[in-house]
């Protein structure tokens, strides 16, 4: 590039001394500029509402900053999300809630499947922190009135590994921060990895969740605690969350005197009575099942029969997990059964095991549910989830639509989402 220069030299202009009037005008203009910038800052700060007062309990703020190297694993260098999630409060496990006398409003639930915090996911947490795990899908969870996942194994640094098990998991303690920042309200502990590091790690997990204010169901110090529902209060009404596992390693079932998980067998009568009791006490009942056959995309007859009986007993929504792949959705008596949501945070080994979704369902007592499916793919190195679009989304949604059609539910697939709207 060529620059042209003038050969003439310019004489400096004479300097004019500012009068007192000029200085006063400049001061007023400067004050007005500072005041205007201050107002704009207060309006747009993520932690201060437009009124300039401190945020209320209904506003949660999550701001997670990742190191620059995070781009190597596909994460943004920083995120800052302002949430307007309605408050959800939890009661002590097993405590009583009075049945709501007014007609409950619509309840928006967001759910994901199995969450791992060990192996490569654990390495990721060590490097980036627990808050980074759900960073890319946080808006789909936090905007719901109630968000749920299955916690696959204890969150602890305590306990002794069950040497007799081929696969054992123990999540990094920082995963609790990730659950909290993602807006997770309640987790299931009823699965075949809850006691991988013995009773000490299970007790530690429950204590960590309690301190964080995250509700839990499906495991406890004895059978009474393990079978107790998580009780939550939302703007839509009261909610019971019951969790059971049909996959039961030896010694994992809670007893009257020993800690463990809440199991489906051998007494199905007890299971159904628990659902009926919850339905009589709260506005909504959500039941979580760890069940099915690993890597089988079809719900088996045992799953379907049990799901139907549980809805007959009063459940409003059934959320399934364990197979590591997605299974279909079914409507039975106007209630939704999600047989398997697949893995949600997992260092998977195939494309099918990396394909999953966020289930967003709006429940109402006297109406069919509204269903939204957000396709998600798990990073092939780290196992952390992210929304997916285009061909990848079409593959996940198309497969879920086919599996659901086999169960009698027709989903509409459009614009990187699957829907059911009555």
Per-residue pLDDT 10s for the chain (422 aa) are 433 333 333 334 444 454 555 555 555 555 555 444 443 333 333 332 322 222 222 222 223 333 333 333 333 333 333 334 667 776 544 433 434 445 568 999 999 999 999 999 999 999 999 999 999 999 999 999 999 999 999 999 999 999 999 999 999 999 999 999 999 999 999 999 999 999 999 999 999 999 999 999 999 999 999 999 999 999 999 999 999 999 999 999 999 999 999 999 988 999 999 999 999 999 999 999 999 999 999 999 999 999 999 999 999 999 999 999 999 999 999 999 999 999 999 999 999 999 999 999 999 988 999 999 999 999 999 999 999 999 999 999 999 999 999 999 999 999 999 999 99
Residue pair 82/183 in contact by the 8 Å Cβ criterion: no
**Domain final position from 55, 73, 104:** 55
Residue 252 is assigned to a structural domain of this protein: yes
- The verdict on 139 and 252 lying in the same domain is yes
Residue 289 is assigned to a structural domain of this protein: yes
Residue 5 is assigned to a structural domain of this protein: no
- The verdict on 36 and 84 lying in the same domain is no
Strand 237-245 and strand 284-290: the pairing is parallel
- The verdict on 164 and 24 lying in the same domain is no
C-alpha torsion angle, residues 339, 344, 346, 350 (rounded to 10): 60
Crossing angle for the helix pair 301-312 and 268-281, to the nearest 10 degrees: 40
The rounded distance, in Å, linking the Cα atoms of 118 and 106 is: 36
Three-state secondary structure string covering the chain? CCCCCCCCCCCCCCCCCCCHHHHHHHHHHHHHHHHHHHHHHHHHCCCCCCCCCCCCCCCEEEEEECCHHHHHHCCCCEEEEEECCCCCEEECCCCCCCCCCCCCCCEEEEEEEEECCCHHHHHHHHHHCHHHCCCCCHHHHHCCCEEEEEECCCECCCCCCCCCCCCCCCECCCHHHHHHHHCCCEEECCCCCCCCCHHHHHHHHHHHHHHHCCEEECEECCHHHHHCCEEEEECCEEEEEEEEECCCCCCCECCCCCCEECECCCCHHHHHHHHHHHHHHCCEEEEEEECCCCCCCCCCHHHHHHHHHHHHCCCCEEEEECCCCECCEEEECCEEEECCECEEECCCCCHHHHEEEEEEEEEECCEEEEEEEEEEEECCCCCCEEECCHHHHHHHHHHHHHHHHCCCCCCEEECCEEEECC
- The verdict on 157 and 43 lying in the same domain is no
- The verdict on 48 and 196 lying in the same domain is no
- The verdict on 45 and 99 lying in the same domain is no
- The verdict on 44 and 159 lying in the same domain is no
Tokens encoding 139: 């808006």
- The verdict on 245 and 293 lying in the same domain is yes
Strand 355-364 and strand 343-345: the pairing is unpaired
Residue 219 is assigned to a structural domain of this protein: yes
Domain count, the chain: 2
The rounded distance, in Å, linking the Cα atoms of 87 and 109 is: 13
Residue 9 is assigned to a structural domain of this protein: no
The rounded distance, in Å, linking the Cα atoms of 235 and 52 is: 25
Q: Give the global pTM.
A: 0.80
- The verdict on 75 and 208 lying in the same domain is yes
- The verdict on 287 and 168 lying in the same domain is yes
Residue pair 356/112 in contact by the 8 Å Cβ criterion: yes
The rounded distance, in Å, linking the Cα atoms of 187 and 281 is: 20
- The verdict on 31 and 139 lying in the same domain is no
pLDDT value for 88: 76
- Which residue range(s) make up the domain with 220? 60-420
pLDDT value for 6: 36
Cis peptide before 266 (omega within 30 of 0): yes
- The verdict on 127 and 51 lying in the same domain is no
Residue 222 is assigned to a structural domain of this protein: yes
Residue 3 is assigned to a structural domain of this protein: no
The rounded distance, in Å, linking the Cα atoms of 32 and 244 is: 63
Residue 4 is assigned to a structural domain of this protein: no
The rounded distance, in Å, linking the Cα atoms of 71 and 100 is: 48
Residue pair 324/114 in contact by the 8 Å Cβ criterion: yes
How many other CB atoms are there within 10 angstroms of residue 171's CB atom? Answer: 30
Distances (CA, A) of 367 to 167, 325, 370, 386: 43, 29, 9, 31
């Amino acid at each position: 590039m060529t620059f042209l220069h003038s050969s003439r030299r310019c004489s400096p202009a004479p300097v004019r001394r500012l009068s007192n009037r000029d200085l006063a005008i400049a001061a007023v203009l400067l004050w007005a500029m500072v005041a205007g910038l201050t107002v704009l800052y207060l309006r747009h700060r993520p932690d201060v509402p437009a009124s300039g007062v401190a945020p209320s309990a209904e506003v949660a703020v999550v701001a997670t900053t990742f190191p620059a190297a995070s781009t190597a694993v596909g994460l943004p260098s920083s995120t800052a999300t302002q949430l307007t999630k309605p408050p959800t409060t939890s009661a002590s496990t097993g405590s009583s809630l009075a049945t709501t006398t007014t007609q409950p409003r619509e309840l928006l639930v967001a759910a994901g499947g199995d969450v791992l915090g060990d192996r490569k996911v654990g390495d990721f947490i060590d490097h980036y922190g627990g808050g980074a795990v759900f960073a890319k899908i946080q808006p789909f969870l936090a905007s719901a009135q109630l968000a749920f996942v299955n916690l696959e194994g204890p969150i602890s640094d305590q306990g002794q590994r069950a040497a007799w098990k081929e696969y054992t998991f123990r999540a990094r303690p920082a995963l609790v921060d990730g659950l909290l920042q993602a807006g997770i309200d309640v987790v299931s502990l009823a699965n075949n990895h809850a006691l991988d590091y013995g009773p000490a790690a299970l007790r530690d997990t429950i204590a960590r969740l309690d301190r964080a204010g995250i509700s839990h169901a499906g495991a406890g110090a004895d059978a009474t605690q393990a079978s107790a529902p998580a009780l939550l209060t939302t703007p839509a009404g009261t909610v019971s969350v019951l969790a059971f596992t049909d996959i039961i390693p030896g010694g994992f079932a809670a007893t009257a005197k020993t800690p463990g998980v809440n199991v489906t067998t051998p007494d199905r009568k007890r299971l159904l009575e628990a659902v009926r009791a919850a339905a009589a006490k709260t506005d909504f009942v959500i039941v979580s099942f760890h069940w099915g056959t690993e890597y089988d995309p079809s719900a088996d007859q045992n799953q379907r029969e049990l799901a139907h009986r549980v809805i007959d007993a009063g459940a409003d929504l059934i959320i399934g997990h364990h197979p590591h792949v997605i299974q279909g959705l079914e409507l039975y008596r106007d209630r939704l059964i999600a047989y398997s949501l697949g893995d949600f945070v997992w260092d998977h080994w195939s494309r099918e095991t990396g394909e999953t979704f966020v289930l967003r369902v709006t429940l109402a007592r006297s109406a069919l549910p509204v269903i939204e499916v957000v396709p998600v793919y798990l990073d092939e190195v780290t196992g952390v989830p992210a929304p997916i679009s285009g061909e990848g989304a079409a593959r996940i949604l198309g497969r879920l639509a086919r599996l659901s059609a086999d169960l009698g539910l027709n989903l509409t697939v459009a614009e990187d989402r699957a829907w059911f709207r009555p």
